[in-house]
Structure 1
Amino acid sequence: MEQFFHMIVDYIGQWGYAAIIIGMALESACIPIPSELIFGFAGYLVYLGRMDFTMAVVAGVAGGLIGSIGAYFLGYYGGRPFVLRYGRYILLSERNVDVAQKWFDRYGLKATLFSRLLPVIRTFISLPAGFARVNFQKFVLYTVLGSIPWTMVLIYAGILLGENWQMINTIGHQASFVVAAALIIVAFYYYRKNRLHPGHDKA
């Protein structure tokens, strides 16, 4: 793992935004590459002035979308039996697929939106979406909207941590729940506001 860690850092350091796109595409395609590591180091490079924050976010979201689309079509055309049979070659376990499937069964297509903020589930949620053959356009939209907050927060955390950016690898899961909780609070606030004052925004 230590060697793998340095390899990812070296690639991002040399290839910049392209490496972020590739790394996040692989992570979102169910290959276990920690996004905390990718975005944490990207944030550190922004801190050093070697990357632009907005471009790093765009690269991260774009890579995540590419990998998610790949996983979606894998589930769409291959189905669950195919994924479980050959997934072991990319370290994809049946347990991970089952966890993502339970979330999708409970929340449907909306799970592809908010589960991007949750550990493990965000990596595999595209598979059950493909199994169910949900509307592709909505899947893409929800994937992008769900990826933006997670990407921005982790890159910004890497900026704040600076030389200590590697700490993000240990606090990444906690950050997921913090971001998710914040979004839930904001959504609840606007829901309550619109319910109490339904015509306020139209005035």
Structure 2
Amino acid sequence: MYEFTSQLSYIVIFILMILEGMSLPIPSEIIMPLVGYYSFKGYINIEIGIISGTIGSLVGSLIDYFIAEKLGIPFLSKYGKIFGIDDNKLNVLGTWFDKYGIFAVFGFRFIPLFRALISFPAGLARMKIVKFILATFSGHIIWNTALALIGYEFATQWKMIINQIEKLGYIIAGIIILVIVAYIIAIFIKRRRNLR
């Protein structure tokens, strides 16, 4: 049971960090310190947690890269808000990428709010995929390791915060379940009325 729970934890970390790498509002600044915290508690292995998170970040970054490469500026101008990018941000990031290339891809991995977005100008410029992966993975592994170690070192201070987050999670889960049940009941009642 313990091994199954640990494996599930790594899968959850991986999925959440894919979403983070795709520029969706899933902050690594919360996920990776939690990896450190839960490893301190003995629930997971910190090295595997960091690798899971980093590979997830890389996959998410590659998704953004290929979205930009294959669908281009028209798609990003129309749907970029989903990823938190607009024409202004794209122009700024594009300027930085044009000037610094691989160093921009690596360096922006340490800048919150912009760290995931640098994948788009790299994809638009059709940066060599090997260089992109190298710069992206290097940035992610350093960033994720630092955050996980912070979570580990300050685990005792995190205890109160984690307890509150877990309580909030139960409340949200309860609300979601109630909404689903109410929706099913409403559909059932509506169908019964239509049969009459």
TM-score band, normalised by the shorter chain?
Answer: 0.7 to 0.9
Q: How much does 1:91 deviate?
A: 4.4
Contact 1:116 1:147 in 2 (8 A): yes
2:138 to 134, 145, 148: 145
Equivalences, count: 157
Gaps of 5+ in 2: 162-196
**In 1, Cα distance between the equivalents of 2:97 and 2:159?**
32
Q: 1:127 maps to what in 2? A: 120
Contact 1:31 1:92 in 2 (8 A): no
**In 1, Cα distance between the equivalents of 2:83 and 2:113?**
15
Contact 2:109 2:140 in 1 (8 A): yes
**In 1, Cα distance between the equivalents of 2:160 and 2:93?**
27
Q: How much does 1:166 deviate?
A: 8.3
- For structure 1, which segment, 156-165 or 45-54, has the greater mean C-alpha deviation from structure 2 after superposition? 156-165
TM norm structure 2: 0.73
Distance 1:64 1:43, change over 3 A: same
Q: 1:156 maps to what in 2? A: 149
Q: 1:50 maps to what in 2? A: 43
Q: 2:81 maps to what in 1? A: 88
Summarize deviations over 1:101-152 as a string: whole Å, max 9, x none.
Answer: 2321221122111221111221101000000001011111111111111011
- Which protein is bigger by CA-based radius of gyration? 2
Contact 1:99 1:121 in 2 (8 A): no
Q: 1:109 maps to what in 2? A: 102
- For structure 1, which segment, 75-84 or 126-135, has the greater mean C-alpha deviation from structure 2 after superposition? 75-84
Q: 2:12 maps to what in 1? A: 19
- For structure 1, which segment, 56-65 or 113-122, has the greater mean C-alpha deviation from structure 2 after superposition? 113-122
**In 1, Cα distance between the equivalents of 2:95 and 2:75?**
19
Q: How much does 1:47 deviate?
A: 0.9
**In 2, Cα distance between the equivalents of 1:126 and 1:150?**
16
Q: 1:31 maps to what in 2? A: 24
Distance 1:91 1:147, change over 3 A: closer
Distance 1:166 1:22, change over 3 A: farther
Gaps of 5+ in 1: 1-11, 169-203
**In 2, Cα distance between the equivalents of 1:45 and 1:67?**
23
Distance 1:100 1:15, change over 3 A: farther
Q: 1:70 maps to what in 2? A: 63
Q: 1:201 maps to what in 2? A: none
Distance 1:94 1:19, change over 3 A: farther
Alpha-carbon RMSD across the aligned residues, in angstroms, is 2.4
Distance 1:19 1:131, change over 3 A: same
Contact 2:22 2:83 in 1 (8 A): no
TM norm structure 1: 0.70
Q: How much does 1:93 deviate?
A: 3.7
Contact 1:31 1:90 in 2 (8 A): yes
**In 2, Cα distance between the equivalents of 1:16 and 1:120?**
25
Partner of 2:44, secondary structure, is coil
Q: 1:188 maps to what in 2? A: none
Q: Among the aligned pairs, what percent are the same residue?
A: 36
Summarize deviations over 1:65-111 as a string: whole Å, max 9, x none.
Answer: 10010000001011122112012245444444344323212211221
